[in-house]
Chains A and B, each alone.
Chain A
Amino acid sequence: MDLDMNVNAPHSMGTTIIGVTYNGGVVLGADSRTSTGMYVANRASDKITQLTDNVYVCRSGSAADSQIVSDYVRYFLHQHTIQLGQPATVKVAANLIRLLSYNNKNMLQTGLIVGGWDKYEGGKIYGIPLGGTLIEQPFAIGGSGSSYLYGFFDQAWKEGMTKEEAEVHLF
Chain B
Amino acid sequence: MGDLPPYPERPAQQPPGRRTSQASQRRHSRDQAQALGADPEERQQIPPDAQRNAPGWSQRGSLSQQENLLMPQVFQAEEARLGGMEYPSVNTGFPSEFQPQPYSDESRMQVAELTTSLMLQRLQQGQSSLFQQLDPTFQEPPVNPLGQFNLYQTDQFSEGAQHGPYLRDDPALQFLPSELGFPHYSAQVPEPEPLELAVQNAKAYLLHTSINCDLSLYEHLVNLLTKILNQRPEDPLSVLESLNRTTQWEWFHPKLDTLRDDPEMQPTYKMAEKQKALFIRSGGGTEGEQEMEEEVGETPVPNIMETAFYFEQAGVGLSSDESFRIFLAMKQLVEQQPIHTCRFWGKILGIKRSYLVAEVEFREGEEEAEEEEVEEMTEGGEVMEAHGEEEGEEDEEKAVDIVPKPVWKPPPVIPKEESRSGANKYLYFVCNEPGLPWTRLPHVTPAQIVNARKIKKFFTGYLDTPVVSYPPFPGNEANYLRAQIARISAATQVSPLGFYQFNEEEGDEEEEGGAGRDSYEENPDFEGIPVLELVDSMANWVHHTQHILPQGRCTWVNPLQKTEEEEDLGEEEEKADEGPEEVEQEVGPPLLTPLSEDAEIMHLAPWTTRLSCSLCPQYSVAVVRSNLWPGAYAYASGKKFENIYIGWGHKYSPESFNPALPAPIQQEYPSGPEIVEMSDPTVEEEQALKAAQEQALGATEEEEEGEEEEEGEETDD
**Is chain B a partner of chain A in the same complex?**
no
Using CB atoms and an 8 Å cutoff, list the residues of chain A in contact with chain B: none
